[in-house]
Amino acid sequence: MRLKNLVFTAAAASGVSVLFLSQQSWSQETGQSAVATAGEISTLPDAPESQVQSGRQPAPNSAQPPAKAGAEQSSPGAADISGTVTDTNGDVVPGATVSIEGSKNVNRRSQAANDNGFFEFRNVASGDSYRVKVNADGFEPWVSEPVSPASGQYLNVTQIKLKLKGEATSITVVANREQIATELAAEQVRIAEQQRILGVIPNFYVVYDSKNAVPLTPKLKFQMAFRVAVDPVSIAGAAVLAGLNQAGNTPDFQQGLEGYAQRFGVAYTDGLTDILFGGAILPTVLHQDPRYFYQGTGTVKSRLGHALASPFVCRGDNGKNQVNVSSMGGDLISSALSNTYYPSSNRGAGLVFGGFLISTGEREVSAVVQEFVLRKLTPSAKRQSAGETF
């Protein structure tokens, strides 16, 4: 852009000079009152010398290209500082206020960038360091590194890129440990919810990668309980159990379709209250983990002991073993609630504590089978062992 302005200025100055010289020559010719004599002709060889001097030092009446109002005239030994103001996208910013201030010369000079974002400071004293400051409406202020123009140097300040106010240049996200643990727990639950025995029966409440397991958030505890409760296999299991109870005429409902519906209702409700209290509500309140943590290594005796103890010992959200109040409490609450919807002939303490003992025995058997058998029958668990992602 600077080169283009110089060419245009030189061309304009040449045109004005030619026009003026032509007019001056015409005036001199018309002002002569007589034809040149032989003596006057003899002075012509000296004319070139007079023209050269005139080129070095114009005559007082010689015409010069008119200077712009307020334009600075270059001084010998002075420097020139210029540049172009743009935004971060490279678009010019016209009208920006540009100022320079030296470290020695505290006089501040300022001007407005033109329509092309260009600015130029002439007659800048050399031997000093300057900072170029740019301000524009809607943009953050911009300040250059110190520049030190040499005598007669034309110094162009580059990379003047204004940032919009409030513009984000980069975003650094720093996650705390709690956030990382929450995300990891959600991923582990996602994997667990794909665990199905023979690819069909839900096997969500077991952790095969016990060493890397993280505590569940309250939301994830309720999520897992809900997934088990509404799983089609869980509903189908309640239907099968209702059919077996119908055949055994227990509990003491009538036979027929109505009796089967009643038995299905109590079977499903038993499972729902058990998983809701033992798998979500109490684990949330007591900060305990409702899952079974697969051991997988060690002697058969140690693995068997680990499985049989699981209904009574659980892992707390703090990573330490605790009395499994959640599981035992969930079984007791579920059995107690049965007294509200079972036939009156089946109600009583026997229903509560009998149901509790049956549930505890079922948990022990389930844990032993889980420790020694079910992993081999769970396809997604075998893929985890192979290091596959899904």
Q: Is the pTM of this model over 0.85?
A: no
pLDDT(263) > 50: yes
Q: 143: which 2 tokens? A: 């300040």
- Of 46-60, 75-89, 161-175, which range is least confident? 46-60
Tell me what percent of the residues of the chain surpass a pLDDT of 70.
Answer: 75
Residue 67 reports pLDDT greater than 70: no
Judged by DSSP in three states, 320 sits in coil
The stretches of the chain forming alpha helices (DSSP H) are 2-31, 38-41, 47-56, 177-192, 218-230, 232-248, 256-276, 282-286, 300-309, 325-338, 349-372, 379-385
- Nearest partner of 252 among 150, 341, 349, judged by Cα: 341
Residue 97 reports pLDDT greater than 60: yes
pLDDT, residue 78, reads 85
| 3 state DSSP class of 224 | helix
Q: Which residues pair with 100 in a beta bridge?
A: 109, 132
Could you say which architecture CATH assigns to the domain 79-162?
Sandwich (2.60)
pLDDT tier at 382, thresholds 50, 70, 90: low
Q: Residue 33: pLDDT above 70?
A: no
- Sketch the domain layout of the chain as residue ranges: 2-56, 79-162, 177-385
Contact 375, 294 (CB under 8 A): yes
Q: What is the pLDDT of residue 125?
A: 87
Q: Token digits for 232?
A: 């089609």
Cβ pair 269, 341 in contact under 8 A: yes
Read off the pLDDT of each residue in 137-144 and give the average, rounded to a whole number: 93
Structure confidence at residue 29 (pLDDT)? 40
Query: 280 or 172, which is more confident?
Result: 280
Q: How far is CA 26 from the centre of its chain?
A: 77
- Asked if residue 293 lies in contact with residue 315, where contact means CB atoms within 8 angstroms, the answer is yes
**In which residue are the tokens 């009643």 written?**
262
Q: What percent of the chain has pLDDT over 90?
A: 64
Instruction: Tell me the average pLDDT across 221-239.
Output: 97
Per-residue confidence (pLDDT) for residue 66, from 0 to 100: 40
The 10s digit of each residue's pLDDT in 121-134 is 998 888 888 899 99
* pLDDT of residue 70 exceeding 70: no
Mean pLDDT of 59-80: 51
Confidence of residue 385 (pLDDT cuts 50, 70, 90): low
Distances (CA, A) of 51 to 14, 45, 92, 193, 240: 16, 11, 46, 100, 121
State yes or no: pLDDT of 174 exceeds 90: no
